[in-house]
Structure 1
């Protein structure tokens, strides 16, 4: 019975409850408004799923090979959904996946903003986001397995051509341009091909945005 009690006190669920209590005390101490408290608690609940693990310590005990296998299991399908990542050499795919950084966005969080410098692309693990043109017109929703922001990843010193906002709590992997270029440098032909595809997509997106702006202007004139 004593062993069972001790096991319960050290369980992942019990640890999460203890951390949640500390968090609530901390937020009261900082006198945070209720809406901010709710957002923070929502973030914690989604990120940890009411279980707390010292993930970094656990991963540190694993071999490099096992860590790579775990990353591949979690992210391989996400990366392969990107058309210009398909059929990459396995070694390169592993290097790209090892560079991914996981982030959690709450409802109405702005993930990327149009007309701002961009240097990352994103893969949606779970959740839904809305995409808006520079003019503010909603284009579509993206869900689990989708990706966005690849143009800024591949074309240096470019600006975002769209805004992306979380529609629900979303778990998203981020790939930074610096890490991607470092990983693909040994494959210059592949990099050139990928950049060519990205430039074509950017041209199409720009034409679509120009068309939407013209249509918006025509509708305003008609309403007058």
Structure 2
């Protein structure tokens, strides 16, 4: 655009013609090239963000490319429910930025997830399980939704990343079950005191 403006000044185009040419080029650029450029920028940004997620940082470029092609960006506002305990799992999430809290089915807070974390892995990796927790955005949060059906394509069974994710899923399952048990004992104790 700067070259066009410089050319028009050098050729001493009248102002009305300069304005019309700029308008024309903006229109042409936006309609023809801008969509393609937007897609390239979005893909590059997604690629960089996926690489920045702790658990995915050591993966090959080919695997990251598969993940980038598979994820869908989503934005949640404070108080939005991302997933609900007891529901069937359709996806897991990679948290790009923001804060999300998870709660047991009884409302006991389990933990907070922040930039670079992931969650929803338990029900995705352990298909006989329904969602064990409810996830709620605590602030405006950008996430990548990663559908369950693409999980095994990107993370084949017995791969190193699959084993790491499985281990982490089992650790998180234990955290949730421990929080639920503590809540249950608290309720029993409170009832006995009355």
Deviations 1:24-76 (A, max 9, x none): xxxxxxxxxxxxxxxxxxxxxxxxxxxx99999325875xxx87654322321
Query: Match of 1:122?
Result: 93
- Once residues 136 and 54 of structure 1 are traced to their aligned partners in structure 2, the CA distance between those partners, rounded to angstroms, is 50
Q: CA deviation at 1:134?
A: 1.4
Q: What is the aligned partner in structure 2 of residue 73 from structure 1?
A: 48
- Pairwise CA RMSD of aligned residues? 3.5
Q: CA separation in 1, counterparts of 2:32 and 2:103?
A: 37
2:166 is the counterpart of 1:166: no
CA contact (8 A) 2:123 2:130 kept: yes
Corresponding residue of 1:57: 35
Shift in CA distance, 164/4, structure 1 to aligned 2, threshold 3 Å: farther
CA contact (8 A) 2:85 2:105 kept: yes
TM-score normalised to structure 2 length: 0.71
**Residue 204 to residue 144, structure 1, CA distance change in 2 (3 Å):** closer
Q: CA–CA distance in 2 between the matches of 1:165 and 1:86?
A: 25
State how many pairs are aligned: 176
Return the alpha-carbon distance in structure 1 between the equivalents of residues 31 and 91 of structure 2: 28
Counterpart Cα distance in 1 of 2:102 and 2:181: 16
What is the rounded CA distance, in whole Å, between the counterparts of 2:185 and 2:24 in structure 1? 63
Q: Equivalences for 1:8-23 in 2 at 5 Å?
A: none
Q: Distance in 2 between matches of 1:87 and 1:152?
A: 24
Give, in whole Å, the separation in 2 of the partners of 1:99 and 1:209.
Answer: 33
1:188 corresponds to 2:158: yes
**Structure having the higher Rg:** 2
| SS in structure 2 at match of 1:188 | coil
Instruction: Specify every segment of 5 or more residues in structure 2 that has no aligned partner in the other structure, as ranges.
Output: 1-14
2:149 corresponds to 1:149: no
Q: How many Å separate the matches in 1 of 2:92 and 2:19?
A: 46
Q: Which has the higher contact order (CA 8 A, sep 6+)?
A: 2
Secondary structure of the corresponding residue to residue 141 of structure 1: strand
Matched, 1:133 2:104: yes
Structure 1: give runs of 5+ residues left out of the alignment: 13-51
